[in-house]
Amino acid sequence: MAKIAVLGYGTVGSGVVEVLETNKDSIKKRAGKEIEVKKVLDLRDFPGDPIQEKIVHDIKEIIEDEEIEVVVEVMGGVEPAFTFVKQALEAGKSVCTSNKALVAAHGAELLEIAKSKSLNFMFEASVGGGIPIIRPLNQSLTADEITKITGILNGTTNYILTKMSREGSDYDETLKEAQKLGYAERNPEADVEGFDACRKIAILTSLAYGSTVNFEDIRCEGISNITTVEFKYAEALGCAVKLLATSYRKDGKVYAITAPFMISNEHPLYNVNDVLNGIFINGNVIGNVMFFGAGAGKLPTASAVVADVVDCVKHKGKNVMTVWSSEKLSLGDADDEVWRFFARVKDEDDARVKVRDAFAEAKIVEIAETSGEFGIVTEAMSEAEFKAKTEGLNLINRLRIDDTQL
């Protein structure tokens, strides 16, 4: 029997308890022993809930309980999660978390503490919800040097973009509906401004290259300025608009960005719709692989957390090596990144002449639904070059185009 504690009895926490109960027998078979939730930390009480008798309000009751060998942290946020997780590791307990803010901010440090004590710190659920991606990156793609990771890593924004695309609805209206359905939070900033996806690509990039990428160093643009008009242009171009979080290695440097992109129907993530997440990886020997599935949600996320618990139980006393040092990975200059660009240009003065002068091969895109503007699709150039070339133009918006193909 392995006893565990759960920090936080919210959506994911109650999912973890539920999954452990629902699949008790098969989990026992996989872990080699039964797994029992002994204590649950939450500020609230849950009268009537079978978990009530296990509720504790003080982290000490868990840290000081020597029977508890694995702690599941599903509270979210950096603090007090970080303090609790550190205490748990220092008290000799392995930790599994779904908390990307915690992992993005302190992943390397917590991995090092775990390693030094022959414990494990696991965080499969922190990226891609239920989709196995951390473990494949950490244990399956070990023969490869990762050259590119591109993902749709945030279900909320993908839901919004998919709905806007399908129904022609506008951003504010769609966001409100997503909030009503529970797909977006009341304060949606972390999702819609791209911060959530950005933290996740920081985690994946750190794992891929073995040193720490600060998510604050990654250029990050959200979807809040995407309107119905961008979708009209996208449709005319045979493209979808997707919030991509991507990192890649080029000339010995690693670049990363999170931003809305136009992608063609040949792009591996073109069909990843609604709240689904998809992650494309290119390795120098494996070539292209892709993973997709539910990127969030109570049970898919709990599935990933419980799989980590099973792994911790199986590896008791043995650290499963993860190559992610605290050493900082300096990213290449975002202004050097090269893309094709789509831009909406105000059709004023001699804008069309300026476009012809600045861009040798820009394609002009006209759509019936707008007036006073036109679209351009440029040849590939650096961000800096694009900025310079469009200086004299009045741009309404611009999107990068990602040309990844399977």
Active site residues: 200
386, 262 Cβ separation under 8 angstroms: no
Print the binding letters for residues 25-44 with a copy of itself: x by CB under 8 A, - otherwise. Answer: -xx-xxxx------------
Number of residues that bind a copy of itself (CB under 8 A): 56
User: What DSSP state is assigned to residue 50?
Assistant: T
Residue choice 13, 188, 260, 283 for contact with a copy of itself (CB under 8 A): 283
Beta strands in 229-320 (DSSP E): 239-250, 253-264, 276-283, 287-294
Per CB under 8 A, which of residues 129..168 are in contact with a copy of itself?
130-132, 135-136, 139-145
Q: How far apart are CA 205 and CA 199, in angstroms?
A: 10
Cα of first residue to Cα of last residue in the chain, in angstroms, is 45
Return the exposure string of 32-54: e unless at least 16 CB atoms fall within 10 Å of the residue's CB, then b.
eeebebbbbbbeeeeeeeebeeb
Considering beta carbons, is residue 226 or 310 the nearer one to a copy of itself? 310
- Give the nearest distance from C-beta 187 to a copy of itself in angstroms: 27
Q: How far apart are CA 192 and CA 181, in angstroms?
A: 16
- Give the nearest distance from C-beta 275 to a copy of itself in angstroms: 11
Residue choice 291, 334, 336, 347 for contact with a copy of itself (CB under 8 A): 291
Residue 343's Cα: distance from chain center in Å?
Answer: 26
Interaction of residue 289 with a copy of itself, rule CB under 8 A: yes
- Give the nearest distance from C-beta 143 to a copy of itself in angstroms: 3
Residue choice 83, 118, 271, 330 for contact with a copy of itself (CB under 8 A): 271
Residue 230's Cα: distance from chain center in Å?
Answer: 24
Interaction of residue 19 with a copy of itself, rule CB under 8 A: yes
Residue choice 1, 364, 388, 406 for contact with a copy of itself (CB under 8 A): 406
- Give me 311's structure tokens: 């792994």
Angle, alpha carbons 26-31-33 (nearest 5°) = 90
Beta strands in 74-145 (DSSP E): 94-97, 121-122
Positions that interact with a copy of itself (CB under 8 A) = 19-20, 22-23, 26-27, 29-32, 124, 130-132, 135-136, 139-145, 210, 271, 276, 283-294, 297, 299-300, 302-307, 309-311, 314, 318, 320-321, 323, 406
